[in-house]
Structures are given as structure tokens and as C-alpha cells.
A = this chain, B = another copy of it.
Amino acid sequence: MKSSNNGDGTVGKALEVLDMVASFERPIRFSELLEASPYPKATLYRLVQTLTNQRMLSYDPESQYYRLGIRLVKLAHVAWASSSIAPVVRPHIDALSRDLGEVVHLAQLDNAQVLYIDKRNAGETIPMYSQAGKVGPAYCTGVGKTMMAFLPKDELDEIVSQQSFHRFTPKTLADAESLKAELQAIRDRGYGFDDEEHEPEIICVALPLLSSSGRVLGGISVTSTTNKTDLNGLASFVPRMREAARDIQEEVQNWRFPDQTFTK
């Protein structure tokens, strides 16, 4: 017994390296990776070789920089398209954005963070990975807080304890106490706000998407700015959003893949 890693053997280590490359958000050199990694040179070298062979990383011999490989884009396309909610939700956030004239997001929780799955700008379409795939903090975004609010108690405690509580703006809820109070308010109200807690002038209203058994599937939010409207203005969007959420929940429940055979 000695290893410094997570416990999933070589595969875990390789994926950890992949994450490490991703965390730079730009092409990097082997030596930069080495510095950031807990592995000895030879080990990291082999890991990176394997990943490159597998096209999960790509290497430019001229510049000697590694970056994430496009095989990931292909896999993510399938992941997105066969996720239970993304394809179902798309037409709804489309309609919401059109009706309300604002930016609409679909998000899920991933590892105590908010992961944006889809986005619709008021005017035009933003195609896939430019925005989908982004992550944000859960404790100071509308969707983040709203999804947390509807988690079962044990999961909630766990996820709250994992928040980093950086104070982005004067209004950021920067400790577990105030966050928990806010989450209670969201549960009572049935929806959540972001009142310039992440970025000044940016406000939003969010609804959870729940499965029939009450599990949190994701969240949708409508975003605006303080010089366009205020929280009351956003609250007036809620009935329309509820409609969408209801429809989505129903469709997700009944939705099956074309050729998926069921025995019951």
C-alpha cells in the first residue's frame, strides 16, 4: 500500500492525467504536466503516450504541446444525445427563450459543480460545445442553488461541504450557514434566484427538474441583467417556466430510445 491516487488503478490514473490536461484549458508541455502531477517522469510519460495513442490527447511534435484530443468531442456528442434530458429539453428551452426574450440554460450537477448542458441565446442559436460543457460554482448560481435545494439531506450536506465559497461579489453567499438558509427559502418558494451573486448585474431565476420519484435531474434558468429587469420581473417568468418544467418532466418519464426493447 502506498499509491497517492484515487483507487481505480491505471485507468483512474490515466483519466486523472486527462483531467489535469483539461484543467490548464490550453495546450501544455510535458514538463508542465510533470510538475502538476504526482507521478514520476517515466510513469507519466507512458500514461501520456497511451492517451495520445488512443487519441484522447493530441500531440503536436512541432510545438511539443499536448492538448485534449478530438475523440472526446465525438464521445461527448453521443453522451449528450443519449443523456435522458438534453435532447428532450432542447425544444423547450428554445421556446422559453423565444417567448421570454432572454438567455435560457439547462444544467446538471456534476461533482458538486454546475455543468451547463445546453444554452439558448435570445436571438440566435449557439451550437454545441462553445457553451455546453462549461462548469460553474453551485453555491452562487441560480441553477446550482436550486438543484441543491431539492437534493436529499445526506447528499445536500455532502455537496455543501464541497463548495469553495469564494466571494465573487458583495452579494455572494460565502458560507455554509447563509447558503443553507437560502436553500430553505428556495424549497419553500419552489424556485431560486441568483441576485448578482456570481457576477455584478447578472440576475437569474431557476427551476429544478425532478423525476417522478423526486430525484433532481437538472435545472433550467432564465438569465437577465439588472438594467433590463429585477427579481420581481424574473419572478413573473416563473409560471411560463413551470409549464416548461412540467412538460419536460412528463416527456423525460415517457421517453424511450426508438429501438430500446423493454420486457415490462
| Interface residues, chain A, with chain B CB atoms under 8 Å away | 8-12, 14-15, 18-19, 22, 25-27, 47, 50-51, 53-56, 67-84, 86-87, 90, 108, 110-111, 115, 117-121, 125, 127-135, 257-260
Contact = CB atoms under 8 A, between A and B. Distances in A.
Contacts of A118: 127-128
B110 A78 contact: no
A70 B79 contact: yes
B76 A76 contact: yes
Contact of A80 (B120, B130, B258): B130
Contacts of A70: 79, 83, 108, 110, 115, 117
A8 B50 contact: yes
Contacts of A67: 79, 82-84
A119 B128 CA distance: 9
Nearest to A110: B70
B259 A26 contact: yes
Contacts of A108: 70
A20 to B, nearest CB: 11
